[in-house]
Chain A
Amino acid sequence: MSPWRTLPSGPWADPFRGGWLAAGIGLLLLFPLSSPNAYFIDVFTTGFLLAAFTASWDVIGGIAGQFTLGHALPFGVATYACALLTSVAGWPLPLACAAAVLLAALVGTAMGALSAPLSGPFVALLTLSLGEIAHEVAAGHTFFSGPGGYAWGGEGGIPVTLPWVDAPPLASYYAALCLLCLASFAMLRLSRSRMGLILRAVAGSPITAQASGIPIERFKRMAFTVGSVFAGTAGAGFAVHVGRATATDLSLELSFQAATFAAVGGCGTIVGPVVGALVLHVLLQALSLPPSARVLLYALTLLVTLRFFPGGVVGTVRMAAWRVLRKDGVRPPRAGVGRPEGDGR
């Protein structure tokens, strides 16, 4: 049986999600038509791409339980590939984007191959080191000489050559929303497929999974590849939207941000990280708070959320809802990392 086949009903079909998600997408589709100013549209566009990136972290970090701290690597590889291929090699944009996603997948696969034999904090450490190496190389070295006798690369980054001059904000908004919806849908399907089930088993108890005959290293590698494909897609979208690849795209801060947003939303639920990333990004950017207030709000939100919803908002709420509605002991799918520790024994 193909590991991609979606499992039918049973405890995996979530009775609440479909309706709310559809309503949310409807609202987001309507939002730009209520004539907000260009700034809000821009904040949401970036938010959609970051949400897709956060969800792709969740495939590796949440569902498969491989707590990666180098997830900016496939993202940044895609943005840099977009920039280099369009501006230096002169490729057309669609081709460059496709190549960027492919390259991100390759890099992610390599990272997965290196970290598959490891477990727990060692995975975090190895991926963190790989990401930091890439960031150092991108930030500290000027690769190419630009057309005006100045260098490209370094902290100033490389521009992406776009076939249009100024993209209409509405088009960017809908394109990014479309990317987010398609990517989330694919990741959700994956998480409820047989492969998702196996990945959760690997996350929950690698030894049990191995004893049941699952090649756990192969599945860990697959999780890295799949997560990196989606991270690369988000990265390519980000490069096109921002028009530039900079070293920040590879930074540890970005990797941490994905893990953080996912933790707030609820690891291993895909929907949680998407909603968490979108809400936090919009909350922090669109309110135009004074800088100190923004940082304090961010830190306090994290502390309070994780204190009272240690499994993430969506994860904890869903768990509570299942407890209320299904007293017969059937449990919803569990997150790998967001799962309380002593429960799986």
Chain B
Amino acid sequence: MSPLPQVLLDGLFAGGTYALMAAGMALILGVVKVINLSHGAFFMLGAYVACALAERGIDHPLAGALLAATIAFAFGVFLGKSFVNPARKYPFALAVGTLAWALLLEEAAHMVWGPHPLSVESGAPWIGPGGLVIRKWGVVAFLSSLALLGGLKALLATRPGLPLRLIAEDEEIAGSLGMDVAAIRYLTFGGACAMAAAAGALLSPSGAVTPTMGRAPLLLSLVVVIVAGMDSVVAIFFLSVALGVLGNACAYFLSPQWSYVALLAAVSLLLTARPAGIVALAGRRD
């Protein structure tokens, strides 16, 4: 195994995990206009569902992802319908409310599955040319983030995605055209939560599953979504990968202690240099 390609490949995969979460958050931020701080908690919920299934002998990754997505969709629709829609004129109250919802989910997981971590076998990796280790969960994260973001881009570019784009642009016009804005909003919320839970289910074998495991990926995905701008799918992908590679390279060449700080510093620099986010570069209207 030669270290440099290995570190870069792992960085690519780490970026894939950020992008995977960021895709759902971008959808919510764009259409529902909420900074969803419970996204990490839905990720955690998905991981627990997959673990609980695996403990009962059902360890096919797609089974876990499907069940987790369905459960999260139900909760997401409930949250969207009973909390997000009624309070939608108060973005700040909404952000704090989703944080409270995250605490609620964490505590529920704590009570149902106990405080101790769960863990399932991750399976042996594939060995590529030159002894390169190709981690299975990394491939899963990378490919599914590509699929999700690509699907999102395709959806927004074609006719079925028109209502979403219109609502993101101007809700009043969408409403006056006879669209059920409220329904589309909570369905989008539920769908994005389902995406987070499916991601959690797919990635659950890569580490230990605990009630607070969703907090770390939430932060970096939030960073990616806000900096990249929620309607630029390509920027989200490349920023995620850039952060993943930068973090891993920093950890390997400088010090692992500094890798998180380096990511945050890079984001701070980017923001001070480009106060309106990086998409403004492309001449996006304000």
**A–B: direct contact at CB < 8 Å:** yes
| Inter-chain contact A125/B101, CB cutoff 8 Å | no
A296 to B97, CA, bound (A): 13
Determine whether B276 belongs to the interface, using a CB cutoff of 8 Å to chain A. Answer: yes
Query: B75 to nearest A CB, angstroms?
Result: 13
Q: Is B156 an interface residue (CB 8 A)?
A: no
A337:B268 contact, CB within 8 angstroms? no
A295–B111 Cα gap in the complex (Å)? 11
| A332-344 near B? 1/0 per residue, CB < 8 Å | 0000011011110
Q: How many angstroms from the CA of A252 to the CA of B101 in the assembled complex?
A: 17
**Size band of the interface chain A makes with B:** 35 or more
CA distance A340 to B94 in the complex (A): 11
Bound complex: CA A118 to CA B219 (Å): 19
Number of interface residues of B (CB under 8 A): 39
Contacting pair B104 A303 (CB below 8 A): yes
Check if B100 sits within 8 Å of A126, measured CB to CB.
no
When the two chains form their complex, are residues A307 and B86 in contact, meaning their CB atoms are under 8 A apart? yes
Complex Cα–Cα for A57 and B134 (A): 47
Measured CA separation A300–B272 after assembly (Å): 37
Q: Which residues of B contact A256 (CB under 8 A)?
A: 99
**Chain A residue, CB-CB nearest to B92:** A337
A299 touching B103, Cβ below 8 Å: yes
Chain B residue, CB-CB nearest to A61: B92
Asked if A342 and B89 make an inter-chain contact with CB atoms under 8 angstroms apart, the answer reads yes
* Nearest B residue (CB) for A260: B96
Q: What's the Cα separation between A185 and B89 when bound, in Å? A: 31
From residue 247 to 297 of chain A, which have CB atoms closer than 8 A to chain B? 252, 256, 259-260, 263, 267, 292, 295-296
| Cβ–Cβ contact B35 & A121, under 8 A | yes
Given contacts A118-B275, A303-B104, whether A125 and B97 have CB atoms under 8 Å apart is no
Which A residues are CB-close (under 8 A) to B149?
none
Main secondary structure of the interface of B (DSSP, over half): helix
Interface residue? A237 (CB, 8 A): no
Query: B226: CB under 8 A from chain A?
Result: yes
The residues of A that contact B275 with a CB separation of less than 8 Å are: 117-119, 122
Residue of B89, B90, B271 with highest tally of chain A CB at under 10 A: B90
Query: What is the minimal beta-carbon distance from A312 to any residue of chain B, in angstroms?
Result: 8
Closest B residue to A335 by beta carbon equals: B92
Q: Say yes or no: is B140 at the interface (Cβ < 8 Å to chain A).
A: no
Q: Of B260, B265, B271, which contacts A118 at CB under 8 A?
A: B271
- The answer, among B35, B90, B111, B272, for a CB contact under 8 Å with A340, is B90
Residue-by-residue, is B252-272 near A (CB-CB < 8 Å gives 1, otherwise 0)? 000001001100110110011
Interface 1/0s, chain B 85-128, versus A by CB < 8 A? 01101111110110111011011001100000000000000000
In contact, A125 and B103 (Cβ under 8 angstroms): no
Does A209 have its Cβ within 8 Å of any Cβ on chain B? no
Q: Are A338 and B226 in contact (CB under 8 A)?
A: no
Task: Give CA–CA (A295, B101) in the complex, Å.
Answer: 11
Is residue B164 within 8 Å, beta carbon to beta carbon, of the partner chain?
no
Given the contacts A121-B226, A310-B87, A310-B89, A303 and B97 also touching, CB distance less than 8 Å:
yes
A117 and B94 CA atoms in complex are apart in Å by 25
Q: When A126-B272, A302-B100, A338-B93 are in contact, do A136 and B111 touch as well, CB less than 8 Å? A: no
Could you tell me which A residues sit within 8 Å of B by CB distance?
67, 114, 117-119, 121-122, 124-126, 128-130, 132-133, 136-137, 140-141, 252, 256, 259-260, 263, 267, 292, 295-296, 298-300, 302-303, 306-307, 310-312, 337-338, 340-343
A-B contact pairs, 6 of them (CB 8 A): A122-B275, A126-B271, A263-B93, A302-B103, A306-B96, A310-B94
Other than A119-B275, A303-B83, A303-B101, give 4 A-B pairs with Cβ distance below 8 A. Answer: A136-B260, A303-B97, A310-B90, A340-B90
Q: Which 6 A-B pairs have the closest CB atoms?
A: A302-B100, A340-B89, A310-B90, A299-B103, A310-B93, A129-B264
